[in-house]
Structure 1
Amino acid sequence: MMKKIENLLKTSYARITTSEEPNEKKWVFSSVHNRAFNYNSSALFEYVKKYHPEIQAFYVMEDPVERKKLQECFGKESIIDTSTMEGIRKVLECKVWFTSTAPPLYGMGFRKKYCIINLWHGVPLKKIGMEQENLGWMTKLYYKYLFADNYEAVVTTSEELIPVMSRSFLVEQERVKVWGQPRNDKLFEKINVREQMQKIFQKEKLPEFDSLLLYAPTFRDDGETRLFPFEEFHGENRGRAVEQLQNFLEKNQCIMCIRMHLYEKEGYEWLKALDRPGSRIRFLNEDRIEDIMEVLVMFDLLITDYSSIYIDYLLLERPILFLPYDREAYLKTRGFNFDYDEVTPGPKPKSYAEFLNSIEGLLYNEMNYVENRKKIERKFNKIQKPCSEDICRMVKMMCIR
């Protein structure tokens, strides 16, 4: 909170002492707490840098280590540090601001001079923003005046989601735009899977594989995520269950990559011990791939619970398996915008044996979920092609006179 207050005070001073009009050919991009290079903001920033030389594109990064990496990649002048007055003034020089979370600077009345586009970072299967439970009136006021009133547009992926995004972000439905997600452009690119795997795992000798599985559970605000939520994995028979999984992956020539937020926490030493050269069970956390969208296209099957990553994955027309083992508890603490069973087109195994059988079935005969997946894809993914160029065009029409 102190960082936000500091940002607000510095920004207020910079605005008072700056009389210049922002430059329409300067665009700035930011993501989580101005300290992450991810989500739709990073994808669109890279696109603009590559294909729109007439635009000066900047990215906000307050983390010094990450800032140095980005400066080496994109040039020192392209990366802005908003923890300084100089950085704040540089943002104020830009007419167009893109964010995947909150704007890079805090203040009221930005819409008078700036065009702020919230690209967000996924389809709101779960309740987000103002739709979350137990938000106080102070939070709602803070959100409305510092965020909602400043947005020229909030971006989503289908007309079905316009009312949800309108309520969640406290903006009129007219300000919700069905433009798609720049990060999904990666799903339409061809990729050499084996070369990419070798790059990720630093040229380790990988076992031969025909299929890649991605296990990507949702981060839980309250409590830990249970990996493999079956009794066999949480008792004295765990060793036997792990061996059975390894044999299953070997038999089916699969590698399972696990992406989660608990890699450094205690309690999963038994899994971390499997993450070694030659193993068919590997972690794929942010230390190896910062943004999973960079490589989502290389997976043949997705395993998740409540993560909206599966809605992006639907664009690939590949099978999905769901493990909503704590659905009732999760529903009470977070809540859903849609009926979970209606919008999750895949099996939900309740036992370990059923889990393995479901994977095998999805890989080899799809178990009749193809039509269900197409139905949900049509519901949530209107944009069926790369969208970055279209977004640039729309923003120029909307924000540049």
Structure 2
Amino acid sequence: MRKILIQLLAILLSLFIRKKEEKLIVLYFDGEKFLFNTRIFFKYLINVSKYDVKYIINDRKKREDLEKKYGKKFLSMDNLKEIKKILKAKAWLVDGGFPIKTPFNHKDRVLINFWHGSPIKHIGLDGYSGINKMRVWLQLKMFSSRYNGFFIISPRVKEIFKKTFLLEEDKIKLLGQPRNDLLFKKNDRKIILEKLYLNLPEYKKVILYAPTYRGNYGGKIIETKYFPFEDFDKENFELFLKENKILFLVRNHHLDRIKFDETEQIKLLGNEKVEDISEILNIFDILISDYSGMVFDYLQLKKPMLFLPYDLKEYEKNTGIYFNYEKVSPGPKPKNYFEFKNEINKLLNNKKYYLKERREMENYFNQIGDGNCKRAFDFLEKELKK
């Protein structure tokens, strides 16, 4: 209720606050987290630009922690003075919705939506039904025409974004994702992992297992099944990992109640350890996932992937998928534990295994490589000067 009242107050204020601060740029993910493209572009802006750059974080403790690192560059929607400042910003840069859901007072404001990757599953309007779909349609109708740019990484997804966000074609910009610049940043894996974990075993390869959060369908929470094999043998898998000197990290969603304990070779890599996985995605030798858009980012690393779509039919029915899943998942899909181990071995020891399929998908979905922040900055500057 409090959030609703704050939004109503902010919308009312937007009717009266007209004058913009020409150098003020505000970035926003969801008001609670410092994540994804807005996080990376924020860090880029404060280093290269002359603008007054602010990021919206409502949690006081989190804001104080971030200010120790970056300075007084954070605003809150819980403060009337700071709400007014947000409304005076010359530019809003977002990963999803606007910080203030107002259709008013955007005439002289630059609005850019980076989104957060290319989708496998349904997004935007396609992710809703019934009365909720009508509600989202009305919101999108109010805001979609006001964008200066809605960023994508491939022309192959243009029609999806156009339809599901009610966008005019000229608003969709093939300029990439700022966070993907991190894929090309040099990371020291040993240093990163030693900061995250104490007393690691000997390892030569590191695998990331990052399944998609299933969510709530019809009022029922669908929990993710980790290692979804009837014949899964945890002790045997631990031995397999140890013999092959593999460190296996599980990226569990913070809402998932994961049902296994850490071992010497298997460690959890939740948000409390690494809030934004983009920062270290390039340190892994294999990515294991299912329906996550993360696979499109990982393709750019030219490394192998393995898929565990154990509930594909249910997921297609409940959430929806845009593509032929078999074609957009360039890696093996083991049906049992024996195949699972065997496929991991093949991926680690045969560089040509599924290489052709990965190249085809990379060419299909990734038309943009490095230099995403620079392209975004050039576009922002051009729009600000209009």
Report the TM range for the smaller structure's normalisation: over 0.9
TM-score by length of 2: 0.94
Cα distance in 2, alignment partners of residues 226 and 8 from structure 1? 38
Q: Is the 8 A contact 2:15 2:104 kept in 1?
A: no
Is contact 2:112-2:149 (8 Å) kept?
yes
CA shift digits 1:189-222 (9 cap, x unpaired): 1111100101122xx1211111100000000113
Whether 1:45 and 2:42 are equivalent positions in the alignment is yes
CA distance in 1, matches of 2:345, 2:335: 15
1:36 has 2:33 as partner: yes
Stretch moving more, 361-370 or 342-351: 361-370
- Equivalent residue for 1:23, pick from 21, 24, 32: 21
Aligned to 1:74: 70
Change over 3 Å in CA distance of 1:124–1:400 after alignment to 2: same
Would you say the 8 A contact 1:125–1:338 is kept in 2?
Answer: yes
Report the more deviating stretch, 363-372 or 121-130: 363-372
- 1:170 maps to which of 161, 166, 173: 166
Q: Given the superposition, is the C-alpha separation of residues 339 and 381 from structure 1 closer, same or farther in structure 2, using an over 3 Å criterion?
A: same
Aligned equivalents of 1:370 and 1:99: distance in 2? Answer: 35
1:333 to 311, 318, 331: 318
Mapped partners of 2:142, 2:68: distance in 1: 33
Q: What is the SS of the residue equivalent to 1:213?
A: strand
For residue 257 of structure 1, give the secondary structure of its aligned residue in structure 2: strand
Amino acid across the alignment from 1:324: P
Aligned to 1:236: none
Q: Which runs of 5+ in 2 are unaligned?
A: 217-221
Other structure's SS at 2:359 match = helix
CA 361–141 in structure 1, closer or farther in 2 if over 3 Å, else same: closer
Give the deviation of 1:139 after TM superposition: 1.4
Tell me which residue corresponds to 2:219. none
Q: Distance in 2 between matches of 1:214 and 1:111?
A: 42
Q: What secondary structure, in the 3-state scheme, does the structure 2 residue paired with 1:397 have?
A: helix
Q: Which residue is equivalent to 1:227?
A: 226
**Cα distance between partner residues in 1 of 2:236 and 2:330:** 27
How many equivalent pairs are there?
Answer: 380
Evaluate the alpha carbon distance shift between residue 226 and residue 367 of structure 1 in structure 2; reply closer, same or farther with a 3 A threshold. farther
Q: Distance in 1 between matches of 2:33 and 2:138?
A: 23
Secondary structure of 2:207's partner? strand
Backbone CA RMSD of aligned residues? 1.6
- 1:215 matched to 2:214? The reply is no
Secondary structure of the structure 2 residue equivalent to 1:321? strand
| Counterpart for residue 354 of structure 1 | 339
Q: Equivalences for 1:306-317 in 2 at 5 Å?
A: 306-317=291-302
Change (3 A) 1:363 1:110: farther
Q: Name the structure 2 match of 1:101.
A: 96
Question: What CA deviation, in whole Å up to 9, does each residue of 1:244-293 have, x standing for no partner?
Answer: 1111111111100000125772x61xx22x25xxx110000000000010
- Counterpart residue number, 2:290: 305
Q: Give the TM-score, by structure 1 length.
A: 0.91
Gapped runs of 5+ residues in structure 1? 234-240
Alpha carbons of structure 1 residues 7 and 379: separation in structure 2 relative to 1, 3 Å: farther
Query: Could you list the per-position Cα deviations for residues 28-85 of structure 1 after superposition, in whole angstroms to 9, with x for gaps in the alignment?
Result: 11102x1110011101001111122x11110000112211111111112x10001221
Equivalent in the alignment of 1:180: 176
Which has the higher mean CA deviation after the structures are superposed, 82-91 or 158-167?
82-91
| Per-residue deviation, residues 143-176 of structure 1 (Å, max 9, x unmatched) | 2245424422211101111111111211112111
Q: Shift of residue 135 of structure 1?
A: 4.3
Instruction: Indicate the residue corresponding to 1:117 in structure 2.
Output: 112
Structure 2 matches for 1:112-261, cutoff 5 A? 112-136=107-131, 138-201=134-197, 204-222=198-216, 223-233=222-232, 241-261=233-253
Letter in 1 for 2:151: V
SS of structure 2 residue aligned to 1:126: coil
8 Å CA contact 2:140–2:166 kept in 1: the answer is yes
What's the offset of the Cα at 1:131?
A: 1.5
